[in-house]
Amino acid sequence: MLSAPDFKQKKIIVALLSHGEKMSFKNDNIIITDANGIKHQSSCYRLFTVFIIGHITITSGLLQRAKKFGFSIVLMTHGLIPYGSWLAKAEGNVLLRKKQYQYQGTAIAQHLIKNKIEQQIKMLKKRRKKSPEMKKTIKSLEKYHDRLPDPDFGIQEILGVEGIASRVYFKQMFDEMDWKGRKPRVKHDITNLLLDIGYTQLFHFIDALLNLYGFDTYQGVYHQVFYQRKSLVCDLVEPFRPTVDQCIRKAYKLGQIHEEDFSFHNGQYKIFGKQAQPYIALMLKSLLNNKQEIFLYIQSYYRAFMQNKPIEQYPVFTGEK
């Protein structure tokens, strides 16, 4: 399996083929070119995930290289909607999957959501100026945090705590952005659209990591099994979501988000091509800043799960380098 030192050298790259770029391979290198020539070149040995945005012809050569060098490919439309993937994965980890299917209980789910609320509190505490409402929200989040774990809680009770905590958190996190509520995939405002983009990058990164160990990513411990939903990926994304939130808030404060870059059609905001490039880069940079910590988290999660460790020995994401 991939070691932490080896993973540190791995790259995540984005090919914006909808922006006139082309992707090719030469001597075990991936090459991205535009009208001005070579824009990016990387050894296939150092690739972890390639996000391809726009139209591409999938050849057997591309798939063979992905298989040979163990990197994943995620295909996205011009509007940044994922529509396919080719994942590097460990095959035949039967013992792991048996453990997944036999797992009962809510201890891991409570651990994940407790960690998520910890990160939400941390992001709000980073604010230099805190209004009375902000201070009240932080205290409320600390109360929700302290309610977990509870041995009497089922999934519905955990969902309740998470839902209330997230509502009060988002209201303060984006209090200066005319926040109207989190509505996944609806894209009724620019902030929700950017959250969807950032969460999607995070989702596919964690999906690729889980596949390295042979997890059945459809078998969750918190999100229940639902047709074609990668419930385990949804579970393990939770503690890391606030890093995306903080990235977007910071971009607003630095004047890096411009309304004219976005189009509005049929009640939804969208962004395409050249206009999307800086936003993708912005959130990818945030992901890469936490790349090693996320890798070590998934590695530790795998070991804890396989060794039936007590929940106190499961990993906790702190966001600290």
Q: List the Cα angle 58/64/68 in 5-degree steps.
A: 140
* H helix runs in the chain, sequence order: 4-8, 60-69, 94-102, 107-125, 132-146, 155-173, 190-213, 231-237, 241-253, 273-289, 291-306
- 300 and 206 inside one domain: yes
pLDDT (0 to 100) of residue 73: 92
In the chain, how many domains are there?
2
pLDDT (0 to 100) of residue 138: 97
Q: Which of 86, 116, 131 is the last residue of a domain?
A: 86
pLDDT in tens, 18-45: 667 788 888 888 888 888 888 888 899 9
For strands 11-16 and 47-53, give the pairing: parallel
- 64 and 192 inside one domain: no
The CA distance from 232 to 207, in Å, is 9
Highest mean pLDDT out of 25-34, 76-85, 210-219: 210-219
- 24 and 98 inside one domain: no
The CA distance from 269 to 279, in Å, is 14
- 39 and 79 inside one domain: yes
Kindly compute the dihedral angle of the four CA atoms of residues 216, 218, 224, 228, in this order, to the nearest 10 degrees.
-160
Domain that holds residue 56: 4-86
Reduced to 3 states (helix: H, G, I; strand: E, B; else coil), residue 264 is strand
- 292 and 180 inside one domain: yes
CATH number for the domain spanning 79: value is: 3.100.10.20
117 within a domain of the structure (yes/no): no
Q: Which two tokens stand for residue 22?
A: 């082309």
State the pTM of this model. Answer: 0.90
pLDDT (0 to 100) of residue 4: 83
- 177 and 307 inside one domain: yes
- 63 and 210 inside one domain: no
- 35 and 98 inside one domain: no
Asked whether the predicted pLDDT for residue 10 surpasses 80, the reply is yes
- 213 and 231 inside one domain: yes
CATH number for the domain spanning 173: value is: 1.20.120.920
